[in-house]
């Protein structure tokens, strides 16, 4: 009898233990679900993007429609074929210090937002706010609008679309890529990787054919009469390449979503500057080897004009250039929509923007509010008639933003909580090499367009400062002290 009672006690104890374990597992499951729900419904984005996507963001954003016209602009500024090639080569090399600086920032501050995050950490909250304020109103949605219109206009080359249809196609492109990157982030990243590789491939084919059929005497054609020569020509040519190289730091805008940023960001940023410099230098070499610099400068479509001198292409050069442009600019639109909204998302996180813009969708795990607002504003701008004119007014502000971001390293390096895993070699020199060329461009912009530059500065500060004071009062914005 005692034996039976003992067995029942053991059985009862096991049942109670089983119930206890089951209860604990359920409670743990509820706790995990609660934490996941809180994270998804909050303002934190997850690290889902790999090295390939980080590289695709930089390469895909930088290689856009600008290269199709910039070869002609550089040819006009540099004057001769050799100077055009040197301009693109040196133009790429001087971007290396900037990318090394962004590489250091991205390992010390692996967050979304680029300059918004870096300037806030440096203890300059107003400059942090102003950089994001101008990104939204002057550059980011505007860039999406212009790029989508460019794709639609290239499509009209084949279809003969009317202007209203062109604008509607541009809107459709914006809606398509916004939905893709907002609802299917992983699929959007895979698409970005694919379209970047796909648009580099025809570039390589065009470069290969151009280099094969280029003529040495064409490349050595002297500068046109009246064109700049010597160092003056080289400096002018390098300056004209600046905007072709803009965008290589794009992965930093999504720094908070890149896996293993301490390893992947340095590889991505350094690889980007090397790949693009080689591509642009090779393309410019092929172009001046097929068509004299003076003819490139006189052409509205210099790449197409150069390609027309390749046997078997000839009369099809315009069609080939249009197809290439559609592929390339489509990749740029996709890239811009994918990452740019993270700037306002970061501002909202820091209390410098409307709080709802920091929301992360519980299912999609993307900053959907920020993305919808940015793409919505871009759609409005599609129907504005003077977008390119507006961009000219804010060139000086964009350059000023870059200068301040580069200078911030001198303050950040003194902060005890600034601990980059990658540090620039000869960092003071590298920082100066990043700052000085940008300062030269800033001063030259003021000299070239003093009226527009002053208007831009007054409008930027005049509109931004009162709004900054409003958010500062509402959300108690403070400078980061590093303590």
For residue 229, give the CATH number of its domain.
1.20.1740.10
Question: Residue 455's pLDDT is what?
Answer: 72
> CA 43 to CA 38: how far, in whole Å?
9
Question: How far are the Cα atoms of 13, 189, 250, 390 from residue 399, in angstroms, in the given order?
Answer: 74, 29, 16, 15
Which is nearest to 126 in space by CA: 480, 443, 431? 480
Residue with tokens 């870059």: 402
Is residue 36 a part of any domain in this protein?
no
Is residue 29 a part of any domain in this protein?
no
Could you write out the DSSP letters of every residue in 160-205?
Answer: ---HHHHHHHHHHHHHHHHHHHHH-HHHHHHHHHHHHHHHHHHHHH
Question: Residue 324's pLDDT is what?
Answer: 80
> CA 72 to CA 421: how far, in whole Å?
41
Question: Residue 108's pLDDT is what?
Answer: 94
**Would the pTM count as exceeding 0.85?**
no
Is residue 372 a part of any domain in this protein?
yes
Q: How far is C-alpha 343 from the geometric centre of its chain's CA atoms?
A: 11
Q: How far is C-alpha 405 from the geometric centre of its chain's CA atoms?
A: 15
Q: What is the DSSP letter of 46?
A: P
Question: Residue 392's pLDDT is what?
Answer: 47
Is residue 410 a part of any domain in this protein?
yes
Question: Residue 14's pLDDT is what?
Answer: 41
**Other CB atoms within 10 A of residue 81 CB:** 28
Q: Which domain holds residue 330?
A: 47-475
> CA 141 to CA 359: how far, in whole Å?
19
Contact criterion met (CB below 8 Å) for 273 and 93: no
> CA 156 to CA 162: how far, in whole Å?
8
For the record, the structure tokens of 260 come out as 């293993």
Per-residue pLDDT tens digits of the chain, which is 483 residues long: 333 333 334 334 443 433 433 444 433 443 333 333 334 446 688 899 999 999 999 998 888 766 766 787 788 777 788 888 898 999 899 889 999 999 999 999 999 999 999 999 999 999 999 999 988 887 788 889 888 988 888 888 788 888 899 899 999 999 999 999 999 989 999 999 898 888 888 778 888 888 888 887 777 776 666 666 677 778 778 877 877 787 888 999 999 999 999 999 999 999 999 999 999 999 888 888 888 888 888 776 777 778 778 887 766 766 777 788 888 889 889 999 999 999 999 999 999 999 999 999 999 999 999 999 999 999 998 887 544 444 444 566 677 888 999 999 999 999 999 999 999 999 999 999 999 878 877 776 666 566 666 776 777 778 888 999 999 888 776 666 555
434 phi-psi bin (left φ>0, alpha ψ -120 to 50, beta other): alpha
For the record, the structure tokens of 392 come out as 């000219």
Question: Residue 368's pLDDT is what?
Answer: 95
Q: What is the DSSP letter of 41?
A: H
Question: How far are the Cα atoms of 28, 97, 245 from residue 55, in angstroms, in the given order?
Answer: 39, 18, 15
Which is nearest to 398 in space by CA: 344, 456, 466, 337? 456
Radius of gyration of the chain from its Cα atoms, rounded to whole angstroms: 26
Question: Residue 247's pLDDT is what?
Answer: 83
Is residue 250 a part of any domain in this protein?
yes
Question: Residue 438's pLDDT is what?
Answer: 81
Is residue 15 a part of any domain in this protein?
no
Is residue 218 a part of any domain in this protein?
yes
Task: Provide the domain count of the chain.
Answer: 1
> CA 276 to CA 58: how far, in whole Å?
9
Kindly state the greatest CA–CA separation across the chain. 118
Question: Residue 391's pLDDT is what?
Answer: 45
Assign 49 to helix, strand or coil. strand
* Degrees to nearest 5, angle at CA 363 with 173 and 335: 30
Backbone angles phi, psi at 254, to 5 degrees: -110, 30
Strands of 317-466, DSSP E: none
Is residue 5 a part of any domain in this protein?
no
H-type alpha helices, 424-449: 427-448
Question: Residue 227's pLDDT is what?
Answer: 62
């Amino acid at each position: 009898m005692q034996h039976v009672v003992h067995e029942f006690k053991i059985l009862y104890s096991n049942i109670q233990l089983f119930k206890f374990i089951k209860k604990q597992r359920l409670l743990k499951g509820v706790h995990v679900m609660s934490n996941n729900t809180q994270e998804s419904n909050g303002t934190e984005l997850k690290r889902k993007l790999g090295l390939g996507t980080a590289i695709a963001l930089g390469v895909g954003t930088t290689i856009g429609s600008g290269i199709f016209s910039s070869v002609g602009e550089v040819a006009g500024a540099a004057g001769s074929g050799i100077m055009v090639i040197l301009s693109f080569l040196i133009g790429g090399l001087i971007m290396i210090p900037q990318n090394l600086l962004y590489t250091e920032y991205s390992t010390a501050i692996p967050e979304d937002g680029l300059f918004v995050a870096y300037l806030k950490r440096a203890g300059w909250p107003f400059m942090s706010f102003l950089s994001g304020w101008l990104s939204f109103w002057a550059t980011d949605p505007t860039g999406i609008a212009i790029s989508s219109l460019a794709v639609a206009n290239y499509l009209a080359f084949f279809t003969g679309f009317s202007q209203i249809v062109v604008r509607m196609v541009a809107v459709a492109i914006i809606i398509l890529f916004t939905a893709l990157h907002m609802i299917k982030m992983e699929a959007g990243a895979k698409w970005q990787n694919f379209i970047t590789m796909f648009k580099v491939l025809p570039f390589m084919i065009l470069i290969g054919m151009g280099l094969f059929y280029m003529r040495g005497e064409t490349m050595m054609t002297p500068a046109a009469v009246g064109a700049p020569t010597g160092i003056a020509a080289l400096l002018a040519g390098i300056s004209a390449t600046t905007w072709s190289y803009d965008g290589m730091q794009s992965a930093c805008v999504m720094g908070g979503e890149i896996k293993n940023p301490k390893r992947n960001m340095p590889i991505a940023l350094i690889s980007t500057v090397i790949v693009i410099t080689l591509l642009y230098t090779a393309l410019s070499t092929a172009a001046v080897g097929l068509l004299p610099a003076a003819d490139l400068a006189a052409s509205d479509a210099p790449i197409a004009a150069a390609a027309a001198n390749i046997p078997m292409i000839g009369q099809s050069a315009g069609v080939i250039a249009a197809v290439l442009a559609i592929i390339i600019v489509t990749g740029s639109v996709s890239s811009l929509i994918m990452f740019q909204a993270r700037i306002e998302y970061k501002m909202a996180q820091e209390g410098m923007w409307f709080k709802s813009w920091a929301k992360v969708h519980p299912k999609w795990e993307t900053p959907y509010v920020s993305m919808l607002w940015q793409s919505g504003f871009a759609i409005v701008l599609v129907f504005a008639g003077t977008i390119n004119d507006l961009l000219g007014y804010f060139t000086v502000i964009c350059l000023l933003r870059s200068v301040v971001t580069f200078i911030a390293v001198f303050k950040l390096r003194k902060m005890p909580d600034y601990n980059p895993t990658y540090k620039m070699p000869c960092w003071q020199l590298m920082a100066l090499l990043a700052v000085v060329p940008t300062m030269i461009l800033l001063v030259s912009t003021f000299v070239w367009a003093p009226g527009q530059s002053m208007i831009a500065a007054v409008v930027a500060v005049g509109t931004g400062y009162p709004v900054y004071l409003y958010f500062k009062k509402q959300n108690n914005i403070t400078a980061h002290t590093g303590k």
